[in-house]
Amino acid sequence: MPPATLNAAVAPFSAAAASRRADTTPLTLSLVEQIAARLSERIVGGDYAPAQRIMEQAVADEFQVSRGPVREALRLLEKDGLVTILARRGALVTQLSIDEVREIFDIRAMLNGLRDRAIAEDTERTRHLPLLEKEVATLTRLARDAEQGDAYVEAVARLNRTLGQMLRNRRLKAILDSLALQTLRYSQLGLSTPQRRKQSVQHWQKLLKAIREGNGVEAERIARQRVNDSRDAAIARLQEAKNKRNQGGKKAA
């Protein structure tokens, strides 16, 4: 049988794997990677709830493949922290505790610092600078309008993608992508108010300036500050939600 192909188009799953094979032209994702990408979308998108069990046969039936590739895809997702595999009990959608979210943000702060410093110190950065300028300008415009919350979040994501493309260190990019995926559900919590967006856009403007001037140390400092701010805002929101849940639970009981 020819290697089955899933109907829908899917985004590349493993940036690390994709970049490492850049020389041998992937073009078509392997079945395992396609399944992993689809499941990944669902988990990040919230179609599967945290702690929900993902059963191999169900996924296999739905995608019309056998359980083998599904098992391998789930193993990939486990390495990315999106599911947790328990022996003889299968895969569960990973549920992060508040502490774990904080831990991931701490790692991201360091590695975003490395990323932005590397970009600022890259002598070829000028090639991408115009695009960067334009995206920060868009950000600035969107931040002024209190109604443009979702658009702002999307613009920040696009800016981060651009920075990822400017980054030479492929392995760093892969790790950052993986960590970003794990906390996607929580990252946006930090940009929920116009006030926070104001502060956010200032960070980006300062980062752009540091990159423009080739000031790596400053770029790193700003990046760390920015991610730490996101972390604190996200944690505060999560803590709020948790307290509310607990109170509600007590009232019900």
Partner DNA sequence: GTCAAGAAGATTGTTGACAATCCTACAAAA
Partner DNA sequence: TTTTGTAGGATTGTCAACAATCTTCTTGAC
Residue 109 vs residues 64, 104, 172, 226: alpha-carbon distances, Å: 41, 9, 13, 8
Comparison of 115 and 197: residue with beta carbon closer to a second copy = 115
Number of residues that bind a second copy (CB under 8 A): 40
Out of DNA, a second copy, none, what residue 90 binds, judged by CB under 5 to 8 A for its kind, is: DNA
Can you list the alpha helix ranges (DSSP code H) found in the chain? 15-20, 31-45, 56-63, 67-79, 98-121, 129-144, 149-166, 170-182, 184-187, 194-213, 216-252
Rounded to a whole number of angstroms, the minimum distance from the CB of residue 250 to DNA is: 20
Contact set for DNA, span 9-68 (CB under 7 A): 30-32, 53-57, 64-68
Half-sphere exposure of 185 (CA within 13 A, CB side): 20
Q: CA torsion, points 209, 221, 162, 141, in degrees to nearest 10? A: -50
Selected range binding a second copy among 12-20, 49-57, 149-157, 205-213, rule: CB under 8 A: 12-20
- Cα(155)–Cα(188) distance, rounded to whole angstroms? 12
Contact criterion met (CB below 8 Å) for 105 and 234: yes
The distance between the two most distant Cα atoms of the chain, rounded to a whole number of Å, is 62
We find the least distance from the C-beta atom of residue 61 to a second copy, in angstroms, to be 19
**Owner of token pair 């490395």:** 114
Please list the residues that pair with 92 across neighbouring strands: 53, 84
Among 68, 145, 244, 246, binds a second copy (CB under 8 A): 68
**Smallest distance from a second copy to CB 79, Å:** 4
**Which of residues 14, 40, 43, 69 is near DNA by CB under 7 A?**
69
120 touching a second copy, by CB under 8 A = no
Residue 1 found at the interface with DNA (CB under 7 A): yes
Q: What is the DSSP string of 39-94?
A: HHHHHHHTSSPTT-EE-HHHHHHHHTS-HHHHHHHHHHHHHTTSEEEETTTEEEE-
To a second copy, the closest distance from the beta carbon of 132 in angstroms equals 22
Tell me: does residue 137 bind DNA (CB under 7 A).
Answer: no
Q: Which of 23, 89, 252, 253 binds DNA (CB under 7 A)?
A: 89
Among positions 121-180, residues that touch a second copy (CB under 8 A) are 168-172, 175
Could you say whether residue 106 binds a second copy (CB under 8 A)? yes
Interacting residues toward a second copy by CB under 8 A: 14, 16-17, 20-21, 24, 26, 28, 30, 32, 68, 71-72, 75-76, 78-81, 84-87, 94, 100, 103-104, 106-107, 110-111, 113-114, 118, 168-172, 175
Interacting residues toward DNA by CB under 7 A: 1-4, 30-32, 53-57, 64-69, 71, 85, 87-91
